[in-house]
């Protein structure tokens, strides 16, 4: 079981690496989305520092959303998804493998790029590590929830936009606690509660999303 799990993760990583563009595109979108804000809100450091955590989190959310549509779509179109559903391993495990591969190609690069953008937005220094920690705990949940949306839109007429409409409401709890973790760290308050809740959201999404995504995939193959 684990061997086939890592087999699929390795294949997806090799595909992403061969295609190359994916994670680079996502990080570029993330950077551009954040850099736009000073032009909109004005360069005044005080304002930027105040909204830095929120801007970075919202941009991370949208960047994750960008790459989710193709999570199952390429496999669905070339027939691999059918064969994955027919492999001697439960589909839920394979969905989890796809989510981890997705997180490694999008979530991780975002976490690496985030502190750089925090500097651009003049975020207070002691918010950096908390930002990385919160993103590290939040982005897997985003990938898990996004996988459900990606599975549900297979075979639909309007994929991309529909996916964001379905999934964004479910992202809101992660956004709220992710930003509040960073803000209260900057404000010097305790951040244990936020991290516990972010962890809780992740543990909650871990079993629910592969089940729902697998059910969605099975329906798309009917």
| Interacting residues with another protein (CB under 8 A) | 3-4, 7-8, 11, 14-15, 18-19, 77-80, 82-90, 148, 152-153, 155-158, 162, 165-166, 168-170, 172-173, 176-177, 180, 197, 201, 204, 208-209, 212, 215-216, 219-222
d(CA 86, CA 108): 30
Q: What is the Cα–Cα distance from 186 to 121, expressed in whole angstroms?
A: 14
CA distances from 197 to 79, 159, 177, 189, 215 (A): 39, 31, 7, 16, 27
Of residues 19 and 24, the one with the C-beta less far from another protein: 19
Contact (Cβ atoms closer than 8 angstroms) between residue 68 and residue 167? yes
User: Which CB atom, from 110 or from 163, has the smaller least distance to another protein?
Assistant: 163
Quick one: tokens of 120?
Answer: 């651009």
Share of the chain residues as helix, strand and coil, in percent rounded to the nearest 5: 85, 0, 15
Q: Provide CB contacts within 8 A for 57, sequence distance 6+.
A: 135, 138, 175, 178, 179, 182
Shortest approach of another protein to residue 88 CB, angstroms?
4
CB 179 within 8 A of CB 46: no
Nearest distance from C-beta of residue 87 to another protein, angstroms: 5
Place of tokens 């002691």: 126
For another protein, which is the closer residue by CB, 35 or 156? 156
Q: d(Cα 76, Cα 58) in Å, to the nearest integer?
A: 29
Our CB check for another protein shows the closer of 116 and 208 to be 208
Decide whether 58 or 84 has the Cβ nearer to another protein: 84
Nearer to another protein by Cβ, of 68 and 113: the residue is 68
What is the C-alpha to C-alpha distance for residues 3 and 9, in angstroms, rounded to an integer?
Answer: 10
CB of 85 to another protein, least distance (A): 7
């Amino acid at each position: 079981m684990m061997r086939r799990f890592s087999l699929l993760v390795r294949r997806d990583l090799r595909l992403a690496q061969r295609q190359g563009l994916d994670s680079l595109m996502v990080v570029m979108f993330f950077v551009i989305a954040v850099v736009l804000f000073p032009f909109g809100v004005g360069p005044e450091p005080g304002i930027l520092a105040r909204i830095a955590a929120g801007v970075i989190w919202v941009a991370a959310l949208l960047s994750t959303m960008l790459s989710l549509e193709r999570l199952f779509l390429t496999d669905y179109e070339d027939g691999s998804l059918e064969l994955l559903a027919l492999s001697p391993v439960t589909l839920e495990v394979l969905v989890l493998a796809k989510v981890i591969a997705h997180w490694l190609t999008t979530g991780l690069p975002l976490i690496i790029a985030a502190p750089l953008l925090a500097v651009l937005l003049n975020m207070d220094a002691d918010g950096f590590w908390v930002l990385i920690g919160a993103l590290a705990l939040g982005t897997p949940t985003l990938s898990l929830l996004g996988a459900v949306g990606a599975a549900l839109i297979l075979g639909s007429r309007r994929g991309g936009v529909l996916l964001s409409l379905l999934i964004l409401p479910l992202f809101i709890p992660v956004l709220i606690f992710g930003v509040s973790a960073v803000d209260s760290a900057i404000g010097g308050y305790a951040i244990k509660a936020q991290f516990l809740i972010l962890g809780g959201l992740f543990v909650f999404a871990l079993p629910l999303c592969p089940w729902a995504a697998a059910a969605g995939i099975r329906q798309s193959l009917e």
